[in-house]
Structure 1
């Protein structure tokens, strides 16, 4: 059974649990972990794989054999990811150029959702540039989004002034000129999460339909082991950073799905109960078994 997990602690726990269930585990060394997503979604190149929440939504919308195992491997606030070199603010995105690595990148989906919801931005009135496609075959950018020329770099275009804004998380370059477009972004993000009841989720765990049929006991054991690790590490704060279980992930998935549909990231609505039912049916369990 092939596993791709970016966090060593979760990978160690899941690998050990799979082995104890009687299945031979193999952790694939793929870094950064998002580079495993395309092969996992389109070719079932892994059995259990860390994937972005938006990748799961796109995979379901396009009928890919991908299931959700409700474990959050990466959660974080996102309001700080809209950056600029000048004095522009988030409310001034309309009429300006904005770059993002991929239209389906989860960080971008969350940030654009904040722009429409909290700042009244009409996304179609900005000039959007992307630098790569989706991990899901068949998922295309909206017609009003431009793809940068091959070889172009989001970071270079931003730092050299060809973009007014950039949406960047881990790819943010180190430069003293960069400032967040939302003043007091951290405080605003924390307030948003308190109001919503969740911190934005970036990465969760996906399972292939074939693996669910062939290795259901091993997958359930891996879920239990990862849940135990994250429960032991849980911050006592008001909103969990790494929620585990179908019930705990409902808010984040529902909001992300609404943002994704509004932005043309998915072409049809994806209901969270559809995701839950697909996983439970494939694994032969009730939602309660996976924190439903």
Structure 2
């Protein structure tokens, strides 16, 4: 029997083999589609349009408060990770020299549940002793899933239709906010990174914590998991094989469109090892997910401080598990 599944996922170098047919899950015929963030998230959350979907971890954690309304469960495949120190920008002339200076300032964010923001706020609280309740948070976009933000946080939503990123960049250019916590690079002329040497800061963060922040996970509709629980293993294996193929590009740096590709590839291996995008509930991944879940709960995104056993479908998965 062959199971037909729709998969909404970005075609990263490490998922591309699932798109072009180099990797096919055993017993599964995939129909791959791609939509930008957060369109993909919204279509899965609101309409369950896909059988499997790459979903924001912040949004996923927010949905766990109501499993009946959001009938899908993640598997431990994490197709997107990103360090987030480099994406905190301050306005020149705002008087912000370091993280402590963010207290009392207006900081623009996409919305409260973005995984980027959860990591950034949690990291500043955890490692830089910033009381994030002292910051005036300004959200340019609405929430995909309703969240119960504690009253201690000073959060204002702007009534805006259109590009949230564009709005935040306009606000910082006009001097109406003091900083932006972005999910993408900022092209604003009067904005500069909070951390001057962000790469060095992120490398130190990894060496000290072992955390390479998980941003997204693959979720499957619970109906599929109930009726075809066997599908978890071949889907996991296919993502793993696709990732292995994608990572071989680092063995051929002359084919990458980077001038110093050899140097960058060697540096990445020295800091992060051979497979920074490891899947499964390995020791590092469990610690990373638990840290994110703690931040999400403290910030009101998640109703509980969920454990990994509450978040991932692993009963029919044969892979490393350290929890």
TM-score, normalization by structure 2: 0.79
Is the 8 Å Cα contact of residues 60 and 66 (structure 1) preserved in structure 2?
Answer: no
The Cα of 1:110 is off from its aligned counterpart by 0.7
Question: Which consecutive segments of 4 or more residues in structure 1 shift more than 6 A?
Answer: none
Q: Hey, what does 1:28 align to over in structure 2?
A: 33
Q: Hey, what does 1:7 align to over in structure 2?
A: 11
Q: Which runs of 5+ in 1 are unaligned?
A: none
Size of the alignment, in residue pairs?
282
The Cα of 1:265 is off from its aligned counterpart by 1.6
The Cα of 1:113 is off from its aligned counterpart by 0.9
The farther-off stretch of 190-199 and 225-234 is 225-234
Question: 3-state DSSP class of the match of 2:176?
Answer: coil
Inter-partner Cα distance in structure 2 for 1:46 and 1:18? 20
Alignment of 1:103-182 (within 5 A): 103-136=112-145, 138-143=146-151, 144-151=154-161, 153-170=167-184, 172-182=185-195
Inter-partner Cα distance in structure 2 for 1:187 and 1:8? 25
The Cα of 1:119 is off from its aligned counterpart by 1.6
Is the 8 Å Cα contact of residues 109 and 138 (structure 2) preserved in structure 1?
Answer: yes
Aligned with 1:70 (options 67, 76, 93): 76
Inter-partner Cα distance in structure 2 for 1:214 and 1:255? 32
Alignment pair present for 1:265 and 2:301: yes
The Cα of 1:275 is off from its aligned counterpart by 1.8
Alignment pair present for 1:102 and 2:111: yes
Assess, with a 3 A threshold, how the Cα gap between structure 1 residues 244 and 211 changes in structure 2: closer, same or farther.
same
TM-score, normalization by structure 1: 0.87
Question: 3-state DSSP class of the match of 2:10?
Answer: coil
Larger Rg: 2
After superposition, the CA RMSD in angstroms is: 2.4
Q: Which has the higher helix share?
A: 1
The Cα of 1:108 is off from its aligned counterpart by 0.7
Aligned with 1:236 (options 262, 265, 269): 269
